[in-house]
Amino acid sequence: MKTRRIVIFGSGQIAELADFYFTNDSTYEVAAFTVDQAFFSHNEFRGRPVVPFEHVAEKFPPQDFSFFVAIGYTKLNLLRPEKVAAARAKGYQLVSYLSSHATVFAGFELQENCFILEDNTIQPFARVGSNVTLWSGNHIGHHSTVEDDVFISSHVVISGGVKIGQGSFVGVNATFRDHVTIGKNCVIGVGALVLEDQPDHAVVAPRGTERSKVPSTRLRNL
């Protein structure tokens, strides 16, 4: 049974996914989408109305509708908190999505505007801040902290006692040893193995696998 109607900020792929997940796996009903006037180009998205954000409170008042900001890691996670703050300033309550296929334990407190997808495991005594995206398949170890505005991609392993600093981005398949601290606004690249603390604004970017000089047509024993 749907208990609350919401407006989603965005009209891109993440907004489309948010609509799918909220519609099929939550008690929220998506009523409309909204975007900034400068990016307003269509009156409808996924069969629902799209309205300029500048006028959204007039058509979908905050006393009747809640809000979700469906934006990725644009501008290193700076845009998403800006829009969360703007929605809050209009009087909206920010909601979150927690997949029914995620694993959480007693004592976990879901903060506002989080997007936690399927197959995430959040162990006891771990804390996830507000406005955090956890894409599918991550392990958040016991006593770890993911601070506000973080975006974590898929299949990341965060061991026990780790701290991921506010506004950071973590790429697919990154691994953190226990008790390391990652500063604010860091970028941890795809496949990174993080064994020591990182300062604010650090970039850890492993090199990708090099392409062989031998073309596939010359491989005889594959």
Q: Which tens digits make up the pLDDT trace of 152-163? A: 999 999 999 999
- pLDDT class of 22 with cuts at 50, 70, 90: very high
Name the binding residues for substrate. Answer: 72
Q: What is the DSSP string of 126-181?
A: -EE-SS-EE-TT-EE-TT-EE-TT-EE-TT-EE-TT-EE-TT-EE-TT-EE-TT-E
| Ordered DSSP codes for 49-93 | EEEEGGGHHHHS-TTT-EEEE---SHHHHTHHHHHHHHHHHTTPP
Q: Would you kindly state where each structural domain of the chain is located, as residue ranges?
A: 4-89, 97-197
Q: For the whole model, what pTM was predicted?
A: 0.95
| Dihedral of the alpha carbons of 175, 126, 197, 194, in degrees to the nearest 10 | 0
Instruction: Give the rounded percent of residues in the chain with a pLDDT score beyond 90.
Output: 90
For residue 222, what pLDDT band results from cuts at 50, 70 and 90? low
- pLDDT score, position 50: 98
**Residue 219 confidence class, pLDDT cut points 50, 70, 90:** confident
Whether 4-89 and 97-197 share one fold: the answer is no
Report the mean per-residue pLDDT for the chain.
Answer: 96
Each residue's pLDDT tens digit, 164-204 = 999 999 999 999 999 999 999 999 999 999 999 999 999 99
pLDDT tens-digit readout, 56-102: 999 999 999 999 999 999 999 999 999 999 999 999 999 999 999 99
In degrees and rounded to multiples of 5, residue 190 shows phi and psi of -55, 130
CATH topology of domain 97-197: UDP N-Acetylglucosamine Acyltransferase; domain 1 (2.160.10)
| Average of per-residue pLDDT across 33-60 | 96
Q: What is the pLDDT of residue 3?
A: 82
Could you list the residues known to form a binding site, using ranges.
72
Mean pLDDT of 121-126: 98
List the CATH code of the domain at 4-89: 3.40.50.20
User: Residue 107 above 90 pLDDT?
Assistant: yes
- Convert 103-141 to b/e letters by CB count within 10 Å (16 or more is b): ebeeebeeebbbbbbebbebbeebbbbbbbbbbebbbbb
Sign of CA dihedral 186, 189, 191, 195: negative
Is residue 28 within 8 A of residue 89, CB to CB? The reply is no
